A and B are shown apart, each in its own frame.
Chain A
């Protein structure tokens, strides 16, 4: 068997074999969530991505998981992934030290409709770790701020301790050209912000429903109620975009695990216009 040296470009071998990346930096976000920045070992393996896409991250001998890319799409020198340590692979990932090797396949999947949103208000609704795949689109929108109308970020988490990107949220909140509202399901007395689920922020959020594009990611139950609230405000089904989640093994529509009705979430998603998935959205166990 011919061994490929790490220094050689491995992009040619296709989507089956992981490319090698190293952990360049890591930041703790919450009690159980960290963000790792991954840098390609071989410069030829550097890949850009578009906001909303994900990678399959492989830990030597432990396994592989789909993780959204959560960093700035303007940076190609590293890829940020925000990982919640809930299983064997994500726990290993969260424990990785600088310099550790991680296998990367991707980027896979569809993206948030940044170009299509030009000239419109943009409402971003995130729940919990669902903010991670939305952060790249926020970077992209802010980098071309003049192209868009109002930009509103509505973010909910269970407790103040579960909020991601806290310092960035503060920075964004201080901008005059961005409306940021944060809420938590429950908090101690020291919390001075909103309490309640994220959908409670929608009725009074400052955007024009007729000309808005909504980008939504979070637990399915949160997205179901978010869609309902956005519909109540008058946002059209084909102007709402949701990032869906299912089990994934291959990332290229061949293992079958991520099927969602007629769709492969890895290939046809993860970002879907709501109108496309509406017939399946309220069917249980689909």
Chain B
């Protein structure tokens, strides 16, 4: 098998793919049903997957539901993203000890080891590629991220249904996986539960060659295309990205920021569930004796006041400025910073916003009234007086 080749495996064959990955030394990380949600955690076999489960998603709404089939990947997006596995929420950066008046400092060994991510969606493949740029492409690669992102085997899954808050089609990131995977599956339930497998890499081919498979025929290809087309037709949301960077730069003083701030709780949920939000804060701690010190890095959020604190107060004191920071970063300044949008259209920020603020709706509101703003004069260059 070569990259780009297709084959078909059945349900048992899929189980064998996971078994073979484990036997090859990979720890398996995949979707499991826990606490009323689908989350990503260590799994031991295909039996751990949430067979027969799906979810209902809307602004501020997430409910697991039974499916009337046994689909293993019959849900859309989990509240979790793979960010947790590559950019851990809490991480010790180093620890130091005071010894005879001297300080000994050691950095942390990183030994996540070989891991296989099972069931990575197209939007999340793009999210991983975006975080790769943030943490690896600059002058200083982040050692912790680098260690964790090396030696990850990715089994992608093309989406067969879109969630109520999905808009990957608008962002050009899905619903079909086109890059960044070793193997990509399309789960076909009707007419015999099976998977069309696309080979992405040589090591993906090696795994597929190790399990029983048959060549894909025209009917398989057609069935898989229908699965993806159904998801594309179901998109719960859309976002017009034309000229979006300049649109937002032009509207830094748009009244909509005040309007959304009246609803925003500045809780930071959106930044936690976002698969690309990378901001962190650090905490320095000592033991009681003061001989041992550690530095911990935690996910941070631009919605907190301490995020922008400098002597004298927080730069972004108002909720409006913090929401503006988040949205304009995601959709505009990110493009200048990293040459790509920071949004992959996964819809998590909409689903997990406790008050259901919808990023697509906020952009639409600004776009619809932007022309009027431009006609009203150069408000965005308000004088400081």
List residues of A whose CB falls within 8 A of some B CB. Answer: 1-6, 10, 13-18, 20, 58, 60-64, 84, 86-87, 101, 103, 221, 224-225, 245-247, 249-250, 252-257, 259, 261-262, 264, 267, 279-280, 282-286
**Do the beta carbons of B279 and A246 come within 8 Å of each other?**
no
Most buried by A among B96, B102, B336: B96
A87 to B284, CA, bound (A): 15
Closest to B283 in A: A63
Contacts of A103 in B (CB 8 A): 103, 105
Instruction: Take A14-B140, A261-B333 as given contacts and tell me if A283 and B253 are in contact as well, using a CB distance cutoff of 8 Å.
Output: yes
**What secondary structure prevails in chain B residues at the interface with A?**
mixed
| B143: contacting residue among A1, A14, A18, A62, CB under 8 A | A14
Contact of A283 among B284, B285, B380 (CB under 8 A): B380
What is the number of residues of chain B that contact chain A, defined by CB distance less than 8 Å? Answer: 60
Which residue of chain B lies nearest to A129 when distances are taken between CB atoms in the complex? B311
Residue of A nearest to B380 (CB): A283
Measured CB to CB, the closest approach of chain B to A221, in angstroms, equals 7
**B315:A254 contact, CB within 8 angstroms:** no
CB distance from B340 to the nearest CB of A (A): 13
* A17 CA / B93 CA spacing, docked (Å): 8
Q: Are A254 and B309 in contact (CB under 8 A)?
A: no
* A13→B97 contact, CB < 8 A: no
CA distance A286 to B384 in the complex (A): 13
Is B382 positioned at the interface, with any CB of A under 8 Å from its CB? Answer: yes
Given contacts A247-B306, A259-B329, could you give 20 more A-B pairs where the C-beta distance is less than 8 Å? A2-B106, A13-B107, A20-B103, A60-B98, A64-B282, A84-B311, A225-B384, A246-B308, A247-B307, A249-B282, A250-B282, A254-B134, A254-B142, A255-B279, A257-B300, A259-B302, A262-B333, A264-B337, A279-B380, A284-B321
Query: CB distance A61 to B285 under 8 Å?
Result: yes
Contact status A256-B302, CB under 8 Å:
yes
Tell yes or no: B325 within 8 A of A by CB. Answer: yes
Chain A: minimal CB distance from B54 (Å): 34
| Residues of B contacting A246 in the complex (Cβ-Cβ under 8 angstroms) | 308, 310, 315
Point out the residues of chain A lying under 8 angstroms from B44, CB to CB.
Answer: none
Chain A positions within 8 Å of B382 at CB level: 282-284
Q: Is B135 an interface residue (CB 8 A)?
A: yes
Could you jot down 7 A-B contacts, CB within 8 Å? A1-B106, A1-B109, A16-B143, A101-B102, A255-B281, A257-B307, A262-B333
**In the complex, chain B residues whose CB is within 8 Å of the CB of A257:** 279, 281, 300, 307-308
Q: Distance (Å) between the CB of A133 and the closest chain B CB?
A: 15
Contacts A6-B102, A264-B337, A283-B252: A247 and B315 contacting too (C-beta < 8 A)?
yes
Q: Does B65 contact A (CB under 8 A)?
A: no
Contact B280 A254 (CB under 8 A): yes
A64-B284, A255-B281, A256-B280 known; A286 and B252 CB under 8 Å?
yes
Whether B286 sits at the interface, judged by CB under 8 Å, is yes
- Check A267–B138 contact: CB distance below 8 A: yes
Interface residues of B in 332-385 (CB under 8 A from A): 332-333, 336-337, 380-384
Q: How far is the CA of A79 from the CA of B169 in the complex (A)?
A: 53
A17 to B293, CA, bound (A): 12
In the complex with contacts A17-B107, A58-B284, A283-B380, A256-B278 CB distance below 8 A: yes
